[in-house]
Structure 1
Amino acid sequence: MKKILFILNKYEIGGLEKVNMTIASSLGKEFSTTVYFQKSSENFSAVDKTIRFIIGKNNKVHFFKNPVLFMKAILTRKIQDKKNLIFNKVKSEIDFTNYDVVILNSEDILYASYIQQINPEVKIIWWVHNEYDIIMNRRLGDATNEVRNNLKFVDTVVTLTEFDKREFEDLHKNVVTIKNPLTINQGKVLSSLDSRVISFTSRLVFEQKGLDLLVQIAKKIEPGWKISVAGDGPDRQMFLQLIEKEKISDKFIFEGMLDKEALRLHYLNSSLFISTSRWEGFGLVITEAMSCGLPIISFDNKGPREILANGEFGILIEKYNIYDFVEKINYLISSKEYRRELANKSLERVKEYSLTKVTEEWKGIL
């Protein structure tokens, strides 16, 4: 039986973690799958019996055992030096000779050469969860040469959109696009589209998720309608302060971090879904909302553009065009018929993201 290892940073209820766990569980019905979290997490519980879990020890304990590498990482602040330090801990916790396939997520591409040295026979897959520009120029900007070197040891690069596939093909000969699967149960019950609620699901960070843009939009939507926010994050308090400053607290409902059935109810209790992100590698929350029969409005960036097929299955708004965004929301608010039309398009499109379909695509590259 083929043995597959997924490497993640730590357990969180985020899109990257959810899709890894979902794919690992689905593949676990046919293969031996292990998920390794490099950091421990207080809220982790191994509920999926199809997956073997390995939880890494506290990084700080290991760092102080390697003072030279630790000081170099601190002084240079380069991501490669940080990854060199962390990989010393990783290899003490994982026996890479036990695995046939290792799946690295985003910045962990910088482990590829080390893993290949330990096990020359292993197949390495790099699963890229962000837009090309974000991952290469922001997240790995000071390690461009190291990324190119590590790509020599990667068998397949997996992107989430065709747009990013074309850009990564300049760096690697074997790039495939595999969509993220639905990570919530679709169910037979759909939104009635009757509530005066707009759903918004996101990690609460200003820069990427456009929380400042969301506040500007909220100020202009029709009276009586509210935005229900599911999610949490480091900018939560700043977000609340901005809402209070703008005197629109009555426009928001805060649900906190939701998962599984609670998240599905969040979508079912609303009549449309909006995304204000400045960039998205994919947009898992969009497909979640679509599966519950919601019409979608999103700023135009790579992930939503691919999901909505350039506007065929939802409304794409030019980046930062608040006026147009509000106009489209208010038109949907005024027309249940149009909400129903877009909801039907959502349900048609979301069939492309079934777990069965996506799992078969993954099996094809293992």
Structure 2
Amino acid sequence: MKIAFVIGAPVTHSGHGVVSQGMTWKKGLEERGHEVVLVQSWNYYDWKSFDAILFFMHNEFVVDYINAVSKVNPNIYYAPVLDPDFSIFMMKAISNWGCSRLKIYNRYYKTKRIFPCVKYVLVRSEFEAKYVEKGWNVPKEKILKVPLSFNLKPEVTNFERENYCFHASYLADARKNVKRLIDSAKKYGFELKLAGKLRNSEEERTIYSWIGDVKNISYLGFLSKEDLLSHYTRAKVFALPSINEGVGIVALDAASMGCDVVITNLGGPQEYYNGLATPVNPYDIDEIGKAIQSCLNGKTNQPALQRHIHENYSLQKISEILENAFRN
């Protein structure tokens, strides 16, 4: 098959989550013999030549793009990549609020127009599926769950673990909740190692002000793939207590590499672990700290967690789901 991938927003930084998802799916489909074209807006394409056209992200640009392309080719698929921080009721309300004639509307208002044009809406979790079904009134039969796959798998599994907690993300991003993770390490005294990109000097000052002069917390910088792998194979625990997270591929990779995982109990991430990760209220410093401390002190779900991830979220398995959807 010949498949087009269209992303709905400019990519302003490396490590972009939607780009990572798209490039991983591209790799998996190409390994199964399909051609995947990354669409560039300045280029002309023979849209009729594609067996499937997959749009990523949600905004007005994507809505207009889908409406235009669907008139030429009906094989439209849509992965909105929703990480909502509001209720399903609010999604339903704002999706219906507005007035086209007066041009009074929000970025969700026009979305309902495209679903008659879309064969499947691809979601990453049941949590996301509920927003699509109940917030946008999309029929269940048009919603297909396509989980994300892990990116890393160890060649061996019996690593010698060190007694520290590891976290990697855009550290100053409020939704990653790093301030509370740091505060929990200060209160409970466990060793915490932080990695990730700081995009400017203001973010750097913020992180160092949160850490202060305590000795059990360190910032490692933006790590190379080799250094990242090193910490995934050495850390006993990986923590991702985000207040808003779609999946959290870093935690999925950490589990695949043998870390125990402490994960937010909000949104879709905890669905991936089948009860083998420790969910926490991300607003509760004590709950975060006690969960991490418990894992560091001997509580573990490994190697059962690693086995669960490898059996259910391999790229081969996810690519097969995508392939079957496009062949429908």
1:172 aligns with 2:138: yes
Partner residue in 2 for 1:308: 273
CA-CA distance at 1:299 after TM superposition: 2.1
TM-score (norm 2): 0.82
After superposition, the Cα gap between the structure-2 partners of 1:165 and 1:330, relative to the gap in structure 1 and judged at 3 Å, is: same
CA distance in 2, matches of 1:209, 1:15: 13
Alignment of 1:1-366 (within 5 A): 2-8=1-7, 9-10=10-11, 12-29=14-31, 30-36=33-39, 56=40, 90=41, 92-95=42-45, 96-107=47-58, 109-110=62-63, 111-117=65-71, 119=72, 121-133=73-85, 142-170=106-134, 171-173=137-139, 174-193=142-161, 195-222=162-189, 225-234=190-199, 237-238=202-203, 240-244=205-209, 247-248=212-213, 250-258=215-223, 260-309=225-274, 312-335=275-298, 338-339=299-300, 342-351=301-310, 352-366=312-326
CA distance in 2, matches of 1:7, 1:266: 34
CA distance in 1, matches of 2:307, 2:210: 41
**RMSD (Å), alpha carbons:** 2.7
CA distance in 1, matches of 2:201, 2:87: 24
After superposition, the Cα gap between the structure-2 partners of 1:156 and 1:185, relative to the gap in structure 1 and judged at 3 Å, is: same
CA-CA distance at 1:296 after TM superposition: 0.8
Gaps of 5+ in 1: 37-55, 57-89
Structure with more of its chain in helix, by fraction:
1
After superposition, the Cα gap between the structure-2 partners of 1:198 and 1:246, relative to the gap in structure 1 and judged at 3 Å, is: closer
After superposition, the Cα gap between the structure-2 partners of 1:319 and 1:252, relative to the gap in structure 1 and judged at 3 Å, is: closer
CA distance in 2, matches of 1:32, 1:292: 30
CA distance in 2, matches of 1:128, 1:135: 17
SS where residue 198 of structure 1 aligns? strand
Q: RCO (CA 8 Å, sep 6+): is it higher in 1 or 2?
A: 2
AA at the equivalent of 1:4: I
TM-score (norm 1): 0.74
SS where residue 33 of structure 1 aligns? strand
CA-CA distance at 1:135 after TM superposition: 11
AA at the equivalent of 1:93: N
After superposition, the Cα gap between the structure-2 partners of 1:280 and 1:5, relative to the gap in structure 1 and judged at 3 Å, is: same
CA distance in 2, matches of 1:286, 1:156: 27
CA-CA distance at 1:303 after TM superposition: 2.3
SS where residue 362 of structure 1 aligns? helix
CA distance in 1, matches of 2:316, 2:250: 19
CA distance in 2, matches of 1:214, 1:4: 41
Identity of aligned residues (%): 17
AA at the equivalent of 2:192: I
Contact 1:130 1:280 in 2 (8 A): no
After superposition, the Cα gap between the structure-2 partners of 1:259 and 1:35, relative to the gap in structure 1 and judged at 3 Å, is: farther
SS where residue 117 of structure 2 aligns? coil
Give the number of aligned pairs.
301
AA at the equivalent of 1:116: S
Dislocated runs of 4+, deviation >4 Å: 132-141
CA-CA distance at 1:5 after TM superposition: 1.2
CA distance in 2, matches of 1:365, 1:133: 29
Contact 2:120 2:144 in 1 (8 A): yes
